[in-house]
Structure 1
Amino acid sequence: MGTFKIEGGHPLSGEITPQGAKNEALQILCAVLLTAEEVTINNIPDIVDVNKLISILEDLGVKVQKKSKGSYTFKADAVNMDYLQSAQFKKDGRELRGSIMLVGPLLARFGKGYIPKPGGDKIGRRRLDTHFEGFIKLGAKFRYNKEEHFYGVEAKKLKGAYMLLDEASVTGTANIVMAAVRAEGKTTIYNAACEPYLQQLCKMLNRMGAKISGVGSNLLEIEGVTELGGTDHTMLPDMIEIGSWIGLAAMTKSELTIKNVSWDDLGQIPEVFRKLGIQLERKGEDIFIPKHTDGYKIQKYIDGSILSIADAPWPGLTPDLLSIILVMATQSKGEVLIHQKMFESRLFFVDKLIDMGAKIILCDPHRAVVIGHDFKSTLKATTMTSPDIRAGISLLIAALSAKGTSTIHNIEQIDRGYQDIDTRLRAIGAKISRV
């Protein structure tokens, strides 16, 4: 189990460039299975979860060639479907939440797709019903092996259908879209997720020859095609990492420039941070964050009541940023209610922040009230264990702002989502070492 040692309390400065988007990469990489032609993907983040998925694709028989840092070509012209029944796949697929999105493209192109119950962050219940209900509506037969927790769908031919999704699941929508692009006839997906990463997937599929309309809305219409071709695709910067660096700058009173953020794809993120009192300046496609020497003050609602920050489907705030926002609020001037609606275990890392001296009231599994110190009292260094990716980066931000030397164990969780994070942080002045 890896460990970070962090000497906190030092201001940072300089420029940092966000990696390619993890959540987009997991969708885009699965989509290469839809064609036998070559697909080139750029700005792929070098992180554990993405590298695991690339390894699974190679084991499936996909020819993978690294062109340069973050740039790969994929050619799925000799897919070995027998691998899906192997013990190795049942082990590898279980270790990665994103492996569920292999099912849609495999079903569309080869008539069958299998997956073990996927793993990932232990942040609460993450059901798969939306995915499989969509496949069933397209004409697939579903089976489940309870002993092995192994899912399967099969179909001689998929046929387009109308469906109203029970939730605007991003991965569920992506999986169904990838199945529907090669189904016979028209598919209509209502209550579809419309996150920028899903828009990126749809635009890529259209370049490959798919016929998807309504991209960017919650109503997608797909005319099925018989085959798809190759394409080039460049992934967006990771909006969660961008939010992480905003939080880091605020907590450490640092002057930072976040490069090439693709402002138009950030949605409400800049405005949410402004409500928390953070000054953000747009400089082209960069975000400049000045040194918050006097701290930052949380806004109240116009009637004077306490501000509430909650997650919601796009264009609402992504749930992945609530952990970072909660940590930031511990040094704000004012109070805020954090409402994590989607996952019932994601706020359970707050006990570690309380140990560091934060004023947090955990109301229930979904809500926490944070009363800011306004930097009049700093967080205390401590020893912690990272429970998941987003809590891990939040604890790292807390440690960088705290006085003294903190230890964070189980940093493999952070490495799952953040590329070379210790090296990149040292480049802007952080005192962090990997043990």
Structure 2
Amino acid sequence: MSTFEITGGTTLKGELHPQGAKNEALQVLCATLLTSEKVRIHNIPNILDVNRLIELLASLGVSVTQEAKNTYCFEAKNINLEYLNSDEFAKKGSSLRGSIMIIGPLLARFGKAYIPKPGGDKIGRRRLDTHFIGFQKLGADFKYKQGDKFYRLEAPKLKGTYMLLDEASVTGTANIIMAAVLAEGTTTIYNAACEPYIQQLCKMLNSMGAKITGIGSNLLYVEGVKSLSGCEHRILPDMIEIGSFIGLAAMTKSEITIKNVAYKELGVIPDTFKKLGIKLEIIGDDIHIPKQENYTIENFMDGSILTIADAPWPGLTPDLLSIILVVATQAKGSVLIHQKMFESRLFFTDKLIDMGAQIILCDPHRATVIGLNQENRLRATKMVSPDIRAGVSLLIAALSADGISTIQNIDQIDRGYENIDLRLNAIGAKIRRIDN
């Protein structure tokens, strides 16, 4: 288990290039199982979760070729379905939450799919009902035994139908779309997630011969086809990493330019940081954050305290609330952070309180932050990263703090951020990786 040693208080300056989007990568990689032809994907991030999924696909029989630094070619011509019954698959599948999205493609193409209960971040209960109810509506037979914690689905032929999803689950929507593209007839999916990454998946599938309409809305129509062909696809830049870099610049009083951000795909993210008082300049498709000594949180128009909450797209992604909470600790003013979707995601605030932040954890979903206005720097401390986003939030806090901090369990950070220490050190950060 590796550790970061961070010397805080250093001002950064330079350019950062966001990696490919983790959440999109997990979806489109699973989509390669839908065809026997070659699928070439560009801008794949070199992070633990994605690399583990690529290894899992290779173990299933997918031919994987790395053609360039972040470009891979996949050919799912000789899939070994017997591997689904192996102990190795049970181990690999359970270590990665993104593995759940191989079910839709396998069910659609081969008529059966098995998956162990997947892992991922420890951020509270993350139910999978939406996935399996959707598959059942398409005609799949679902079996689950509490003892072996294994999900099993079989269907000789999926048939299109109407469904109203019980929640706008991103992975659930992706999984159901991938199952429906090869189903017989038309599937209507209402209350579908419509994040840019879902839009990207739909566009990729259409380039493979699928017939999906309503892309970008919460009402999708999927007309089933008999087979899909290969394609070439490029993954969007990661909006969560872009938000992380904006927060980093503000907390460390740094001047940073984030290159090629696909600004039109960022939704409310830039305006949310502006509400915290952070100045952003849009230059072409780049975001420039000038050096700021202070930033002031806006109030609502009636003078009441600002509330920032997550919501399904086009609302604010929940993955950025941890970053926003940390950034607010050094702002002027107060803000209520309302994390609606995951009940354990705010528990890392005790680490920030140890560093001197003024935070009231109201309940598992809400925290009030009273900003220090950069007048009292956070104190260095020893921390453990509980999940991907909290881990990066603690890293940002440590980079702004006085003294030397350590963050253990940084595999959690490596799951979602590609070589984050090397990239930040290149613009002036002082982060040392200690491999234990």
Instruction: State the TM-score, normalized to the length of structure 1.
Output: 1.00
**1:3 maps to what in 2?**
3
**1:410 maps to what in 2?**
409
**1:387 maps to what in 2?**
386
SS at match of 2:260: coil
**1:336 maps to what in 2?**
335
Residue 249 of structure 1: how far off its partner (Å): 0.1
**1:421 maps to what in 2?**
420
**1:398 maps to what in 2?**
397
Q: Distance in 1 between matches of 2:206 and 2:316?
A: 27
Aligned amino acid, residue 270 of structure 1: P
**1:25 maps to what in 2?**
25
**2:266 maps to what in 1?**
266
* Cα deviation code 1:305-351 (max 9, x no counterpart): 00000000000000000000000000000000000000000000000
**1:299 maps to what in 2?**
298
**1:370 maps to what in 2?**
369
Q: Distance in 1 between matches of 2:40 and 2:109?
A: 19
**2:43 maps to what in 1?**
43
Q: Distance in 1 between matches of 2:53 and 2:114?
A: 15
**1:360 maps to what in 2?**
359
Which runs of 5 or more structure 2 residues have no equivalent in the other structure? none
Q: Distance in 1 between matches of 2:155 and 2:430?
A: 55
* Cα deviation code 1:160-208 (max 9, x no counterpart): 0000000000000000000000000000000000000000000000000
* Cα deviation code 1:63-92 (max 9, x no counterpart): 000000000000000000000110000000
**2:152 maps to what in 1?**
152
Q: Distance in 2 between matches of 1:44 and 1:61?
A: 20
* Cα deviation code 1:344-387 (max 9, x no counterpart): 00000000000000000000000000000001100000000000
**1:346 maps to what in 2?**
345
Q: Distance in 1 between matches of 2:58 and 2:375?
A: 53
SS at match of 1:314: coil
SS at match of 1:298: coil
**1:119 maps to what in 2?**
119
**2:429 maps to what in 1?**
430
Residue 96 of structure 1: how far off its partner (Å): 0.1
Aligned amino acid, residue 240 of structure 1: I
Q: Distance in 1 between matches of 2:152 and 2:311?
A: 30
SS at match of 1:188: strand
Any residues of structure 2 matched to 1:44-123 within 5 Å, and which? 44-123=44-123
**2:180 maps to what in 1?**
180
Q: Distance in 1 between matches of 2:149 and 2:214?
A: 35
SS at match of 1:228: coil
SS at match of 2:84: helix
Residue 145 of structure 1: how far off its partner (Å): 2.0
SS at match of 1:369: strand
Q: Distance in 1 between matches of 2:264 and 2:113?
A: 36
Q: Distance in 2 between matches of 1:143 and 1:243?
A: 40
SS at match of 2:256: strand
Q: Distance in 2 between matches of 1:146 and 1:377?
A: 51
**1:257 maps to what in 2?**
257
Q: Distance in 2 between matches of 1:384 and 1:374?
A: 23
Aligned amino acid, residue 433 of structure 2: R
Aligned amino acid, residue 140 of structure 2: A
Q: Distance in 1 between matches of 2:146 and 2:74?
A: 34
Residue 425 of structure 1: how far off its partner (Å): 0.7
Residue 148 of structure 1: how far off its partner (Å): 1.1
Superposition CA RMSD, Å: 0.3
Instruction: State the TM-score, normalized to the length of structure 2.
Output: 0.99
Residue 397 of structure 1: how far off its partner (Å): 0.1
**1:213 maps to what in 2?**
213
Q: Distance in 1 between matches of 2:337 and 2:423?
A: 29
* Cα deviation code 1:15-70 (max 9, x no counterpart): 00000000000000000000000000000000000000000000000000000000
SS at match of 1:121: coil
Q: Distance in 1 between matches of 2:148 and 2:92?
A: 14
Residue 258 of structure 1: how far off its partner (Å): 0.2
Aligned amino acid, residue 296 of structure 2: K
- Number of residue pairs matched? 434
SS at match of 1:363: strand
* Cα deviation code 1:195-228 (max 9, x no counterpart): 0000000000000000000000000001000000
SS at match of 1:192: coil
Structure 1 residue runs of 4 or more that deviate by more than 4 Å after TM superposition:
none
Q: Distance in 1 between matches of 2:113 and 2:129?
A: 15
SS at match of 1:296: coil
Residue 147 of structure 1: how far off its partner (Å): 1.1
Q: Distance in 1 between matches of 2:201 and 2:152?
A: 24
* Cα deviation code 1:246-295 (max 9, x no counterpart): 000000000000000000000000000000100000000100000002x1
Q: Distance in 1 between matches of 2:197 and 2:40?
A: 17
Aligned amino acid, residue 189 of structure 1: I
Residue 146 of structure 1: how far off its partner (Å): 1.4
2:308 counterpart of 1:314: no
Q: Distance in 1 between matches of 2:135 and 2:284?
A: 42
Q: Distance in 2 between matches of 1:13 and 1:331?
A: 19
Q: Distance in 1 between matches of 2:334 and 2:277?
A: 12
**1:283 maps to what in 2?**
283
